[in-house]
């Protein structure tokens, strides 16, 4: 184990505790990775530190998103085993862990380690932001959402789940098609995503909502290892986001009319 007191204490002070289930969005470049010899080594330190805080009954979830399926639709391709995460070093570290599971989804897959890995790894839905898929389960379980070294615009995919559940007119569902390769078995399939209305020039811009939630105390922040770390409970984030959307939905987007 290479857990470090700075990270163990920092995560605990921020609000993580034994037995928590936590979804983690991450970029390690702004952390003090040189102290550990490299970003890959820091990924091990953070993983082991989280494990020390969460214990054997805790669960780590990371996005292992990849977008060749959507970029190449209707001729997309995704390989359950070989398609690597495009979400950073830490997510690929968790995906590659021999005790991790991975959800079957060609662009919004997740790697899961810990007590609920088998249960959550079996979750499957073709509608990315439905209550049946992992975002919905994170909401229902009131899991923690932890952001390491990223702003909200680069991290808070959960906001799009809220948008779909609450209903917005600046996004719509779109189907993407391609080949799925699951342990060597290939088949053609279709999955959907809530996408921006490009005709209106909609751009994702959720930092204002994140800042609002910080000001309301829904999300706590702390400097750990030289970088900003954010943490909040899924149900609190959902409820506060839905309420703020009613007052000003432009906390989640901007229109580029040029």
Q: How many residues are given for the chain?
A: 258
82 φ/ψ sector (left φ>0, alpha ψ -120 to 50, else beta): alpha
Domain membership of residue 91 as a residue range: 5-255
What's the confidence (pLDDT) of residue 93?
A: 97
Tell me the pLDDT of the chain averaged across its residues: 97
Number of domains composing the chain: 1
Q: Alpha-carbon distance 139 to 161, whole Å?
A: 9
- For 171-208, what is each residue's pLDDT tens digit? 999 999 999 999 999 999 999 999 999 999 999 999 99
pTM of the predicted protein model:
0.96
Q: How confident is the model at residue 25 (pLDDT cuts 50, 70, 90)?
A: very high
Integer Cα distance of 227 and 30 in angstroms: 6
pLDDT confidence of 75, banded at 50, 70, 90?
very high
């Amino acid at each position: 184990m290479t857990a470090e007191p700075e990270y163990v204490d920092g995560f605990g002070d921020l609000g993580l505790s034994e037995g928590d289930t936590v979804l983690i969005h991450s970029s390690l470049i702004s952390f003090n990775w040189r102290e550990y010899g490299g970003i890959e080594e820091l990924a091990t330190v953070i993983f082991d530190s989280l494990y020390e805080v969460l214990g054997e009954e805790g669960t780590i979830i990371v996005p292992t998103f990849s977008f060749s399926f959507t970029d190449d639709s209707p001729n997309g391709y995704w390989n359950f085993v070989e398609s690597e995460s495009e979400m950073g070093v830490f997510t690929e570290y968790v995906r590659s862990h021999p005790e991790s599971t991975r959800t079957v989804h060609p662009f919004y897959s997740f790697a899961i380690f810990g007590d609920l890995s088998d249960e959550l790894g079996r979750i499957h839905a073709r509608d990315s932001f439905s209550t049946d898929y992992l975002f919905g389960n994170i909401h229902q379980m009131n899991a923690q959402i932890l952001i390491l070294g990223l702003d909200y615009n680069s991290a808070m995919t959960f906001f799009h789940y809220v948008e779909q559940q609450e209903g917005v007119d600046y996004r719509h569902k779109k189907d993407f098609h391609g080949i799925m390769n699951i342990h060597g078995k290939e088949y053609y399939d279709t999955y959907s995503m809530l996408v921006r209305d490009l005709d209106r020039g909609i751009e994702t811009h959720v930092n204002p909502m994140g800042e609002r939630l910080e000001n309301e105390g829904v999300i706590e922040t702390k400097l750990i290892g030289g970088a900003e770390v954010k943490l909040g409970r899924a149900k609190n984030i959902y409820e506060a986001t839905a309420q703020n959307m009613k007052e000003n939905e432009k906390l989640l987007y901007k229109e580029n009319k040029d």
